[in-house]
């Protein structure tokens, strides 16, 4: 009987540990993050599924990317008046836990405009060698899932208006921070995109899943 209690206790402990998904890249706790994420829902929606196309979906985003973004928002290196203020009070562990929580939530797909495919798909899949534009898929993957180890964000399913805004910010230089090599790389790519290409890519990316 005692043996059964020990086994049951170990199983319960194992389930509790397994349920507390610790992110391998940041060390953040998804369980701890869930208790800190209530204020985020006002803009980013329940579990990071934003319903406002101007505000990004966070569900399923890589913790490595989210953590880096929060650090730059807290320092003011990345400019966003609302998020700069929100990040000010976050500790380093808060940022890791929030990143782990949103990374653990299921990503929510979007819908692309079929008219965008003809322009966007060749650029996304193959790039444009003549203009020095690399394929988006080279970093973000064929379905837009990104790369957690490299902190390349998941972009598939993201709201098209938000993606378009970010690409325009990169093109203008507003999205570039001195310590972020990935942002500098994106700025160099976005500088070569036309407004029509940004609109088409943003819509196409929203439909990736």
**What does the pLDDT profile of the chain (209 residues) look like in tens digits?**
434 433 333 333 333 334 567 999 999 999 999 999 999 999 999 999 999 999 999 999 999 999 999 999 999 999 899 999 999 999 999 999 999 999 999 999 999 999 999 999 999 999 999 999 999 999 999 999 999 999 999 999 999 999 999 999 999 988 677 678 999 999 999 999 999 999 999 999 999 99
pLDDT of residue 154: 98
Is there a contact between 39 and 86 (Cβ–Cβ < 8 Å)? Answer: yes
pLDDT of residue 6: 34
Q: CATH topology for 18-103?
A: Cytochrome Bc1 Complex; Chain D, domain 2 (1.10.760)
84: enclosing H helix or E strand? helix 81-88
What pTM was computed for the model? 0.88
Cα-based distances in Å from 194 to 53, 139, 156, 183: 21, 20, 21, 18
The DSSP code for 103 is H
Helix axes 92-103 and 63-75, enclosed angle (nearest 10): 140
For residues 147 and 144, what is the distance between their CA atoms, to the nearest angstrom?
Answer: 9
Coil, helix or strand at residue 128: strand
Tell me the helices (H) and strands (E) count for the chain, helix number first.
Answer: 11, 0
pLDDT of residue 21: 72
Give backbone dihedrals phi and psi of 29, rounded to 5 degrees, phi first: -105, 120
For residues 37 and 35, what is the distance between their CA atoms, to the nearest angstrom?
Answer: 6
Q: For domain 114-206, give its CATH number from 3.40.120.10, 3.40.50.740, 1.10.760.10, 3.40.50.880.
A: 1.10.760.10
* CB contact set of 149 (below 8 Å; sequence gap of 6+): 25, 64
Give backbone dihedrals phi and psi of 148, rounded to 5 degrees, phi first: -65, -40
The DSSP code for 207 is T
Map out the domains of the chain as residue ranges.
Answer: 18-103, 114-206
The DSSP code for 27 is -
| Structure tokens given for 94 | 């808060």
Is there a contact between 98 and 175 (Cβ–Cβ < 8 Å)? Answer: no
The DSSP code for 150 is T
Q: Do the first three CATH levels of 18-103 and 114-206 match, i.e. the same topology?
A: yes
Residue 146, class by beta-carbon neighbours within 10 Å (0-12 exposed, 13-18 middle, 19+ buried)? buried
| Structure tokens given for 113 | 């405009």
């Amino acid at each position: 009987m005692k043996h059964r209690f020990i086994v049951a206790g170990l199983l319960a402990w194992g389930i509790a540990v397994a349920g507390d998904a610790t992110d391998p890249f940041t060390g953040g706790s998804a369980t701890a993050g869930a208790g800190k994420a209530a204020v985020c829902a006002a803009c980013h929606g329940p579990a990071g599924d934003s319903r406002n196309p101007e505000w990004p979906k966070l569900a399923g985003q890589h913790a490595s990317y989210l953590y880096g973004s929060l650090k730059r928002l807290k320092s003011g290196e990345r400019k966003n008046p609302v998020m700069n203020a929100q990040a000010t009070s976050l500790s380093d562990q808060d940022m890791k836990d929030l990143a782990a929580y949103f990374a653990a939530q299921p990503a929510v797909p979007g819908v692309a405009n079929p008219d965008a495919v003809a322009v966007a798909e060749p650029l996304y899949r193959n790039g444009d060698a003549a203009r020095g534009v690399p394929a988006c898929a080279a970093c973000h993957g064929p379905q837009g899932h990104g790369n957690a180890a490299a902190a390349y964000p998941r972009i598939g399913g993201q709201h098209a208006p938000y993606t378009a805004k970010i690409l325009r910010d990169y093109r203008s230089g507003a999205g570039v921070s001195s310590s972020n090599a990935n942002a500098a790389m994106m700025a160099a790519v976005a500088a070569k995109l036309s407004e029509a290409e940004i609109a088409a890519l943003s819509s196409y990316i929203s439909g990736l899943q």
